[in-house]
Amino acid sequence: MNNEKNILIKIENLKKVYTGANPLTVLNNINLNVYTDEILAITGESGSGKTTLLNLIGGIDNITSGHISIDDKKIENMNENNLATFRNKSVGYVFQFHNLLGEFSAIENVMIPSLMLKYDKIEAYKKSEYLLEAVGLKDRINHRIGELSGGEAQRVAIARALINNPLVILADEPTGNLDKKNASVVQEILWEMTKKIKSTLIVVTHSRVIAEASDRKFKLESGETLSEY
Ligand SMILES: Nc1ncnc2c1ncn2[C@@H]1O[C@H](COP(=O)(O)OP(=O)(O)OP(=O)(O)O)[C@@H](O)[C@H]1O
Ligand SMILES: [Mg+2]
């Protein structure tokens, strides 16, 4: 047995400046190693840069300077094509506001990331059906997102994030808009599915319960320090 921890994500001297009329440095000199298969929580005050950090890790936004590598591949070196494939194939993103397509059904929303990679439609359907069942929505698969409750929509978002068996799941306040009971259901599903597909989870959260349930927890302060606590 090899007990050494594998580093899946390496963040070095990361800096993010939002440019525009009022340039704003949101992240500065951030360093972090994320281990394979771990569940890592990031907490911090509103505006400290947590969503910005997740967006950079997920290749959704551009790094100003510094490095992020995932599975030894540097995100900042990927061209648009590679980046699009990386986002679809390797990253499962659960957004702060669920970001599902309201006019489409639950199962259509879950299938989309798989269809974007041109995977077989029938396979994508079966897998989506399985995932929706796993998150407790077997009898809601044909409901449009607009016909679901907030907690149900959040569970669809989790199923969608998992469809391509991502290397890493990035979850931004996945329980932020839910009551205690639904928050606990969503958290359990996220934990269980992460383990099942042997993925690595980075979860941004204000919830102490979620932070405590994680393998490691970090606090981001003013985009300047990221410290384990
Ligand atoms: N696209 C943008 N352009 C300019 N400034 C931005 C942009 N996005 C975010 N910011 C600013 O960057 C800072 C960090 O934002 P971010 O969304 O990363 O915070 P957060 O830690 O996720 O906060 P919350 O807990 O409220 O979600 C904020 O002060 C915000 O106003
Ligand atoms: Mg945020």
Query: Would you mind telling me the total number of residues written for the chain in this entry?
Result: 229
Of 176 and 42, the one with more pLDDT: 42
Determine which residue's CA is closest to atom 30 belonging to ligand 1: 47
Decide if pLDDT at 207 tops 80: yes
The Å distance, Cα 108 to ligand 1 centre, comes to 30
**Residue closest to 85 by CA, chosen among 98, 73, 97:** 73
CA distance 146 to 153: 9
Determine which residue's CA is closest to atom 18 belonging to ligand 1: 49
The Å distance, Cα 210 to ligand 1 centre, comes to 22
* pLDDT of amino acid 7: 96
Domain that holds residue 104: 7-228
Contact at 8 Å (CB) between 58 and 170? yes
For residue 123, the number of C-alpha atoms closer than 13 Å in the C-beta half-sphere is 9
- Lowest-confidence region among 6-10, 38-42, 94-98, 212-216: 94-98
Outline where the chain has alpha helix (H). Answer: 50-57, 80-90, 106-116, 121-134, 150-162, 180-196, 208-213
Q: Taking ligand 2, which is a single-atom ion, which protein residues have CB atoms under 5 Å away?
A: 51
CA distance 202 to 217: 10
Is the beta carbon of 17 within 6 A of some atom in ligand 1? Answer: no
* pLDDT of amino acid 2: 53
Work out the number of other CB atoms within 10 angstroms of the CB of residue 23: 8
The Å distance, Cα 202 to ligand 2 centre, comes to 13
Is the beta carbon of 24 within 6 A of some atom in ligand 1? Answer: yes
Q: Specify the DSSP element, H or E, that contains 74.
A: strand 73-74
Atom of ligand 1 nearest to the CA of 173: 27
Domain count along the chain: 1
Does 93 reside within a domain? yes
Is the beta carbon of 221 within 6 A of some atom in ligand 1? Answer: no
Contact at 8 Å (CB) between 170 and 93? yes
- Output the domain CATH number for residue 183: 3.40.50.300
In the numeric block, the tokens 């551009």 are attached to 62
Atom of ligand 1 nearest to the CA of 48: 21
* pLDDT of amino acid 96: 80
Of the pLDDT bands very low, low, confident and very high (cuts 50, 70, 90), residue 194 is very high
Is the beta carbon of 66 within 6 A of some atom in ligand 1? Answer: no
The Å distance, Cα 50 to ligand 1 centre, comes to 8
* pLDDT of amino acid 179: 86
pTM: predicted TM-score of the whole model, two decimal places: 0.94
| Mutation probe of ligand 1 site: the residue of 14, 17, 18, 62 with most atoms within 8 A of C-beta | 18
The Å distance, Cα 92 to ligand 2 centre, comes to 17
Decide if pLDDT at 1 tops 60: no
Does 1 reside within a domain? no
Contact at 8 Å (CB) between 106 and 45? no
End-to-end CA distance of the chain: 29
Decide if pLDDT at 3 tops 90: no
Does 2 reside within a domain? no
DSSP for 36-58, written as a single string: TT-EEEEE--TTSSHHHHHHHHT
Is the beta carbon of 49 within 6 A of some atom in ligand 1? Answer: yes
CA distance 96 to 225: 22
List, for residues 129-174, the tens digit of each pLDDT value. Answer: 999 999 999 999 999 999 999 889 999 999 999 999 999 999 999 9
